[in-house]
Structure 1
Amino acid sequence: MYSFDISFVDPATGTYYLADRSNKAVDVVNANTDTIAPQIFPNNGHGPFAGFVPCSPPAGANDCAGPNGVVGAFPWLFVTDAPSRVLSFDLRTNPPTTVSEVFTKVGEKTRADELAYDPRDGLLLVINNASDPPFGTLIQVNKATGALTVVKTIDFDAAHGVDAQNGAEQPVWDPGTGKFYLSIPQIGPTASHGGVLRISTTGTVEATYPVEFCSPAGLALGPKQDLLVGCNTVFDTAGGVWTGNADRDANSAKPRYVILDVRTGNIDKIIFNVGPGDEVWFNKGDNNYYTASSGSPLAPNAITPARAPLGSAATAPTLTAQGAAVLGVIDADRQKLLQLVPTLNVPAVPASQPNPHPAGTAHSVAANARNNHVFVPLAANNAFPDCLKGCIAVFARPSEDEGDD
């Protein structure tokens, strides 16, 4: 396993799901016992997941891949795929039965990506991040049968009030406000201007909460109506883009994540020294946020050979996913960074070489509130034990009464 995406733990059953592109499957783990369960594949007359395949014409590495996003709401599992496909599975059968599929936009080749579920109204908000411009889709779920029906398209472009120039990322549902929230990495032409949108259940973008120097990606609802915003770009101490420019940046990196009050749109806290990354997760079992920070301030940003003014190279150094990545732990009440745990990124092997494969980054995380185990999938490597074909690393933190501070 090299290519994978979002993971999710269904709190109703304590089951972990992972979108596994390399195997064209949803991987399943009993998160209460940390044991592997049978994979889930489309069936009942529905075609297979896309897997890791390039777009035609060429686009981003994962733009036409699948599966991508997963959300469990027993007895249903919702999975996104390419091209622009969303499927529902009945988890009460063995194997789980594919009961419905829809396309967020007919003819759209790129993937349906991250998604959120409103169980009160039976609504999915599904994001097509790689489309130009990106868009969201409200999909009605028949809570009795699992059948899916497309309700509305929400365009994220200047003509519709949100000039999303670098995709759209994670949506979440907040039962407290009865709204969806969505992270937008870049709004307008300035790379440092991102934000979080508040979206009604009728598909109206009601507000934009600015988030600077972050490129919002992951999003997780925590206690006190807070959102942890995962930042997927590192900016420097002067506000310039450091990611991709580390070799020629005379300023230091200043990685951060952000905690946002959904009721006001105000930023409660900036958490420095964690990131960049993708998925973030709130675990109510130990009241911590967990961040899949699929990089560090030193990787995967090549710094040699440097371009001017720090060096004389004519072109940017080659970037690679190889190297340091971290699992971040943030106390959700104190809004304080507690720990950075090493994980691992695996570089791609190009098609011109023997045994080619895509890069695998440690960008996915989910936790089981029943036992506070934290799950981070890792691409095939020989650095972590028993991970030669890929694995799901399981972490746990000691409780306060065991001496943890």
Structure 2
Amino acid sequence: MVFNILSVPGISSAVTYSFDLGAFDPATNKYYVTDRTNRAIDVVDLNNGMAVTQFKPTGAGAFAGCAGTEYSAPNATRADNVPIPTCTNTSGANASGTSAPGTVYPMFFVQNDQSGPDGVDVVGNTLFVGDVNKLVVLNKTTGAVIGTISIPNAPTALRADEGCFDPVNHLYAISTPGAANPYMTILDTTNAEANPPTTPTVIATLIMNDSTSAASGGLEACVFDTAAGGTNKLFVNNDQSTANPNGEIDGIPVSNLVALKVGAPHTGAGAVVFAGTGNSMGATAGTVLPLPALCDPTGIALGPNPEIGAMCRPGTIGQRMDFVILNKSTGANIATVAGAGGGDQITYDVGSGNWFLATSRATATNNSCGGGSAACVLTPMLTVVNGASHTVAARVPSGNNSHSVFTGGGLVFSPFTNGPSATAGGVGFPNGGIAVFFTQ
């Protein structure tokens, strides 16, 4: 059952809530989620009745907001990185600018890769926030800008998207999935973890090609496995390689990343290349954990040792959507939770012993119908998987596009956009906001 629905400042039935990913900080008892509509970080304070406030950086740290492509007329030259403050497409809009009856010009089409903020992670007393062509570092208590790190792309500016933090080796990795050769930017977080914190430093650009030198098809969520008993690897979901055209988990030895602190930064012509199994940069070979056929992975998270979970969100219409759990050392399949996929962010909650999955593209048949249609309306859910039995423990209706989830303080947070949608569902969640559930 839904415990509460939190209103977000600046969001109403007339203003679309465009958000991306969230994180919870047990030190402050706060949940943070990126907000493109308000060009902000929305902050839920559990110490203050779950009041929602916002960090809105300005100047060099200001977030991009929603942006995308514009076609001024049929067959006009495409313009990129055009601000779209409404965060909505015009009637008939599409990425290629194709005209059809009812299409409105100028045509505006929101592009995820040109919009921000995107991922957010707690790093010491700071927040690391991915944005278009940069990473923004904020004070997690005040929202003050500590620094910005350029992650440039040209001619089209692209987002630094999902990141992950290694508190053991003081590293941070963040992906730029929309580049022609998708890559990760690796940073040394020592400065950001100091008191007072200062701007972290870039140590390397890591290009995620495979062993045939083919570019990755895109990069999704990542996680460092460096706690006691871990594999000492950075794991990232890779959308496509030559060997695994519908996805794999790449394991990057953290010892190789630590070694890159010497002689940093390794960028530009000095960038390093992953290059797949057995050919990873550095002294230790990387690994590849193949995912099931037609998986198309999104979210990733560590579970009880030796588990690593991956969300499958198949683009193939009619394909069953699953949640898979692998042995992070061997790649062996521990469990396939049939029909529990079709989402984005996932998390394992130690307190309840459950996996929580933001299955925003769930359907009545558990088979993919992409972003939904009038003939196949999505039924967005918060899906709960028992960590011991690896079976679905609960499926709780959630709001339109509820693709983000995080737990903390005995609660589950899952934002949603305005609804319900005739194709994307979300019945019972009329305005954009943040749904709050109990973990048990």
Relative to the length of structure 1, the TM-score reads 0.78
Deviation (angstroms), 1:35: 0.8
Q: Is the 8 A contact 1:301 1:320 kept in 2?
A: no
Deviations 1:35-67 (A, max 9, x none): 124211224x43410111105446872110000
Deviations 1:193-227 (A, max 9, x none): x1101112334541111112311110011111311
Deviation (angstroms), 1:191: 4.2
Q: Aligned pair in 2 of structure 1 residues 320, 180: CA closer, same or farther (>3 Å)? A: farther
Deviations 1:274-329 (A, max 9, x none): 121110011111111100011123599669xxxxxxxxxxxxx9679964111110
> For 1:217 and 1:41, how far apart are their aligned partners in 2?
28
Higher RCO (C-alpha 8 Å, min separation 6): 2
Q: What's 2:433 paired with? A: 391
* 1:62 pairs with one of 91, 109, 112: 112
Report SS of the residue matched to 2:184.
Answer: strand
Q: Is the 8 A contact 1:300 1:320 kept in 2?
A: no
> For 1:302 and 1:91, how far apart are their aligned partners in 2?
39
> For 1:319 and 1:130, how far apart are their aligned partners in 2?
29
Write the mapping of 1:86-101 to structure 2, written as runs, cut at 5 A. 86-92=135-141, 95-101=142-148
**1:292 equivalenced with 2:343 (yes/no):** no
> For 1:91 and 1:222, how far apart are their aligned partners in 2?
26
Deviation (angstroms), 1:104: 2.3
> For 2:330 and 2:368, how far apart are their aligned partners in 1?
35
Q: Is the 8 A contact 1:233 1:276 kept in 2?
A: yes
Report SS of the residue matched to 1:132.
Answer: coil
Identity %: 28
Q: What's 1:366 paired with? A: 406
What amino acid is aligned across from residue 332 of structure 2 in structure 1? Answer: N
Q: What's 2:101 paired with? A: none
Deviations 1:237-289 (A, max 9, x none): xxxx3x2xx4xxxxxx4221110111222221111111211100111111111
**1:151 equivalenced with 2:211 (yes/no):** no
Q: What's 1:217 paired with? A: 298
Report SS of the residue matched to 1:46.
Answer: helix
Unaligned runs of 5+ in 2: 1-15, 70-78, 81-94, 97-109, 258-273, 275-279, 281-285, 421-425
Q: What's 2:416 paired with? A: 378
> For 1:269 and 1:258, how far apart are their aligned partners in 2?
6
* 1:12 pairs with one of 8, 11, 27: 27
Write the mapping of 1:106-145 to structure 2, written as runs, cut at 5 A. 107=154, 109-141=157-189, 142=191, 143-144=193-194, 145=197
> For 2:129 and 2:376, how far apart are their aligned partners in 1?
26
Relative to the length of structure 2, the TM-score reads 0.72
Q: Is the 8 A contact 1:13 1:74 kept in 2?
A: no
Q: Aligned pair in 2 of structure 1 residues 300, 25: CA closer, same or farther (>3 Å)? A: farther
Q: Is the 8 A contact 1:283 1:290 kept in 2?
A: yes
